[in-house]
Chain A
């Protein structure tokens, strides 16, 4: 493999070349930046920080005999890293450097990956378009007038246009699966607690989960394998060994999958319905059995989520007060220092959610809002549990719409919240979900679908995604191992 071609390769191909001595870790890491990537990054703005010296140091110290040796990786800017700033896309943390690495970052490095920088995001992961980044939006590589989704828009877009083959995001209500669908890549939200949250700046602690982006199913499996497992530093980490995803090519013959078609009878764009049909047909050709059933409409999950997530956020974000991290509004009175720092340091969506969460938890309203939402969460989790009696996994939309225009929803919070209608439920129930790219619709925009399964069903979801990848459209996927990144501006 030549270094110049490395930016198009899968993570497993790069690691294989590094292990065999045919490629230097530094070459692979530089390929995305020094090749066409530099020009595309200018248009897309997927990266918030990437320091050449840090990249070179990371490449020099990367072990050369591991599963991800030499694989360049971008991580969302809410994952703590010692060698780049961690801002969470917020002014309140501008320039702040963590004194430690997140556990997932440590494990990425231990697996040989080269951390090349930090990905753009909606401020504190609150948003569905990456327009709420304090450092300017990321644009969709497939159409620069459209959003890449969010909140992990930077890591998703960087994988889509080929800067890196893999990246990490976080998914509190769909922030990995929705941008993956908008950018045409795979996006895995694992079972709650499977990937450590230590060093992930907390948003909604009972919902947050680190997730994986890649252009290939096998790369998702490889990264999951390297990162998943108990972490003594995360009290919510799931005990016991993570499920073995090594069998991701094993196929789906004989498996049953739920098909909750009442969810897309209205309000879902026809291109997405068509993609669902193609995915289901691919699974059937691979030997799986479709089981139609009726499922609880998503509006209840949206309602419960936006009370629970904001309540948890209002508590978690109390720590940003101008004392221990980042910026400070100078005042002679401590109360003024807190309020002034937070009022100036947080952007509009974060302020809105803190207020909503504070209200939902406040005396006199707690039972009516937070209390009711926690009861709804119990009900919604039970609905998912019951749904998986129809099959080992289910197929549903990742998003109700194709990527929307920049500015289209930024002034209407509720419209933005509703773009998560199909993804929030998995976070409430703590179950894994995988966004699967289904190619481009006739207008040239990416379209994706979502697979959901019960806790620890990641192996099944990856097998199903692989079956869809191989059978979905053989004409489009000449070889499932050689998919090229999106080329911004090429259309």
Chain B
């Protein structure tokens, strides 16, 4: 099996995703099944580095073209769980530097 419960827990931590202890074994089994399936790609004769990461239809990258539409800070924070004066609120992330 490609992934065990410990590896599953490591990936979940990377993804900032809480997974219950009791689900880790099932998650590991499901991810392993998919990874075993995708090994089919080894059957293809692929050129290393010949990568397509954008849609391969010739849409060129370009600069932004703003047209004057903007959101006020209050609109932008209107869907946030906690906001104040146009700012998103989160728990304190720095220690008090001058106790």
Contact = CB atoms under 8 A, between A and B. Distances in A.
B59 interface: yes
A263 to B, nearest CB: 16
B50 A375 contact: yes
Cβ-closest 8 pairs across A and B: A343-B18, A328-B81, A374-B51, A430-B57, A232-B65, A430-B55, A192-B55, A303-B38
Contacts of A343: 17-20
20 contacts: A232-B67, A233-B65, A238-B59, A300-B40, A302-B37, A304-B38, A306-B34, A322-B81, A334-B90, A342-B15, A342-B17, A355-B12, A355-B19, A355-B31, A356-B35, A358-B11, A359-B3, A374-B52, A378-B56, A379-B50
B11 A359 contact: yes
Given A351-B17, A354-B15, A362-B11, A328 B60 contact: no
Contacts of A340: 18
The listed residue with most A CB atoms (<10 A of its CB), out of B17, B39, B71, is B17
Nearest to A384: B56
Interface string B55-86: 11111111011110101000111111110000
A343 B93 CA distance: 21
A378 B80 CA distance: 40
Question: B interface, how many residues as a size bin?
Answer: 35 or more
A387 B16 CA distance: 42
Contact of B62 (A235, A352, A377): A235
Contact of B31 (A237, A239, A314, A356): A356
Interface string A407-435: 00000011001000000000011110000
B38 A359 contact: no
Given A191-B57, A334-B91, A304 B41 contact: yes
Contact of A378 (B42, B51, B93): B51
Contact of B55 (A206, A314, A342, A413): A206
Interface in A289-343: 299-300, 302-304, 306-307, 314, 318, 321-328, 331-335, 337-340, 342-343
Contact of A303 (B8, B31, B41, B52): B41
A373 B94 CA distance: 40
Nearest to B77: A324
A455 interface: yes
Question: A interface, how many residues as a size bin?
Answer: 35 or more
B53 interface: yes
Contact of A413 (B8, B30, B53): B30
Given A334-B91, A430-B56, A372 B41 contact: yes
Interface string A365-395: 0000101111111110100000000000000
A238 B65 CA distance: 14
B88 A337 contact: no
Contacts of A375: 46-52
A285 interface: no
A417 B40 CA distance: 15
Interface of A: 96-100, 191-193, 206-207, 232-233, 235-239, 299-300, 302-304, 306-307, 314, 318, 321-328, 331-335, 337-340, 342-344, 346, 351-352, 354-356, 358-359, 362, 369, 371-379, 381, 413-414, 417, 428-431, 455
Nearest to A357: B15
Nearest to B88: A323
If over half of A's interface residues share one DSSP class (helix, strand or loop), that class is named, otherwise mixed; here it is helix
The listed residue with most A CB atoms (<10 A of its CB), out of B66, B80, B81, is B81
B38 A306 contact: yes
B79 A99 contact: yes
Contacts of A237: 59
A431 B44 CA distance: 22
Interface string B14-35: 1111111000000100110111
B53 A374 contact: yes
B56 A381 contact: yes
Nearest to B71: A99
The listed residue with most B CB atoms (<10 A of its CB), out of A233, A352, A356, A413, is A356
A417 B18 contact: no
Given A323-B90, A376-B41, A97 B78 contact: yes
A238 B56 CA distance: 12
A41 B76 CA distance: 34
A338 B30 CA distance: 24
B1 interface: no
The listed residue with most A CB atoms (<10 A of its CB), out of B39, B46, B82, is B46
Contacts of B91: 331-334, 337
A233 B67 contact: yes
Contacts of A414: 33-34, 37
Contacts of A239: 59-60
B31 A352 contact: yes
B97 interface: no
Given A342-B18, A354-B15, A355-B17, 15 more contacts: A96-B79, A235-B61, A300-B40, A303-B39, A306-B34, A327-B81, A332-B91, A335-B16, A338-B16, A344-B18, A372-B42, A372-B46, A375-B47, A379-B44, A414-B33
